[in-house]
Structure 1
């Protein structure tokens, strides 16, 4: 190992020894590290300016724009880590799912996935499908220097909820109907999504991510027993798929106070809490 490289290979020693990565490894830190769980986005006037007139998904596929947006909160606030600018549905769009992010609504899927025949539409993700991600990481790692860069992906349950509902949902009726009504189809759907998510995170790690985050926006809609039975196996598969890289793995959900222990047991090194938890 050279003097300039960390124990996990590509990472510069200065990045490896950053307060953020030390905290992820439960090591003493010089100060409490601060970072954004997602891009600072709409709070920044410079973000609104560069995004003006550019649809969300297109913004995620322009490497120079992705790099600029990722860097903005680092420049303005001096945070301890950058979060890669993306959206949870980017890998689904990359494999050909007909979806769009509607302003004021969120991701909308043209043809929801609700039958076994629909699974065939979820093909494997390859690095070539998301070459713009690799390019953006190249731009970012040169600019960030010792500041760690966190990779980002949506968790299988939340991806499944968008695919099954066809868009955002308050009560996830179609999702729960499939989960309870056809447990095997549900398991196969989440297993397929786990493979796609793991492939997306691997691209980011190999391009230079210092840590990765699995973002489960809607999993707080489930009871703990349902989480353990219907969701945890797929999230665990994602974490296990990237474990060999040695980068910290973060898991975060919204409204998941009663699920935090179970989410940690899925394989995360760090579990995020939202504003509801102390």
Structure 2
């Protein structure tokens, strides 16, 4: 099948005929077809069934006319291979049965062998990229800090107090954990690329909880290593976090291609800060619950900056929420494509 590679060219900073778009968490969430599947299967059960997982992944491409598919899975998906007892609990999120408290806990973590440990993820990618998709597939992984926050807190957190305390009080254990998670990320992502993923997004969703100084000390070295290793795979590399505008220049230093903005920082503001990478974002998902006139006006504001900037991929500033109407996402794609057509 002929691949529409518009989004890949945009990620590389090349000129395109229109501003391409996809939406974080576009697979699942608000789709009635997905909700029906969830009556039968859990998230992990869906990801363990390549045919079902491929269906969930490609459904938004068919329904919304977006320019990329994002692999349906969770950032927790590779952790059981390391010996982590993780369960996705409805209404809560990931819950860790054996949280990390000591250096000994870190040392017990195993290593991932993707072909043996997550063959269903790789088979899903192969199904999609060899047989089903006409747009690129974006693979992804959680970043070490965000993964560590779940491993140490035992689940979601509002202030990441245990994580920060572990980081400050046990630096040797912290850096050992960062290295373990970096090794896993590199191996896991390379396997996704080898299976057919055409771009990779690294989600450091909660790293905005750190200030810039601590980021430089405790996180930036490991992120530099991850992206430097993945650069050799020659696919676009995307970084995204929430509430992290104070870290944008730190990310701009990393050997990556694209920085995802949440809704708090505009394209213009990011450029004025000195960010030079291709940008992705950044409509507030909550706007999609407003009337269409408001949605259209806010989308056009972003696209006006996008077209003036020339190096941008449209996305949301965070993920699709379950209460967003799928028809709204379809209309949004149509608006983005038609309004930005060169």
**Same fold by TM-score greater than 0.5:** yes
* Contact 1:111-1:166 within 8 A present in 2 as well: yes
CA displacement at 1:140 relative to structure 2:
0.5
Q: How does 1:49-88 map to 2 (within 5 A)?
A: 49-88=36-75
Question: What's the counterpart of residue 327 of structure 2?
Answer: none
* Contact 1:251-1:264 within 8 A present in 2 as well: no
> Over the residues paired in the alignment, what is the CA RMSD in angstroms?
1.4
- Structure with higher Rg: it is 2
Q: How does 1:152-231 map to 2 (within 5 A)?
A: 152-231=140-219
Q: TM-score, normalised by structure 1?
A: 0.91
Distance 2:215 2:262 in 1: 18
1:119 to 2:110 alignment: no
Question: What's the counterpart of residue 137 of structure 2?
Answer: 149
Q: How does 1:228-247 map to 2 (within 5 A)?
A: 228-247=216-235
1:136 to 2:151 alignment: no
* Contact 1:84-1:149 within 8 A present in 2 as well: yes
Q: Which runs of 5 or more residues in structure 2 are unaligned?
A: 267-342
* Contact 1:100-1:108 within 8 A present in 2 as well: yes
CA displacement at 1:145 relative to structure 2:
4.2
Partner deviation per Cα, 1:176-198 (whole Å, 9 max, x = no partner): 00111111211111111010111
Equivalent residue of 1:75, what SS? helix
Structure 1 range deviating more: 208-217 or 118-127: 118-127
* Contact 1:63-1:132 within 8 A present in 2 as well: yes
Q: Which has the higher contact order (CA 8 A, sep 6+)?
A: 2
CA displacement at 1:113 relative to structure 2:
0.7
Distance 2:118 2:14 in 1: 34
List structure 1 runs of 4+ shifted beyond 6 angstroms: none
CA displacement at 1:239 relative to structure 2:
1.2
Partner deviation per Cα, 1:54-89 (whole Å, 9 max, x = no partner): 122222222112101100100101100000111001
Count of matched residue positions in the alignment of Structure 1 and Structure 2: 265
* Contact 1:153-1:214 within 8 A present in 2 as well: yes
- Could you tell me which of 42, 45, 65 is aligned with 2:32? 45
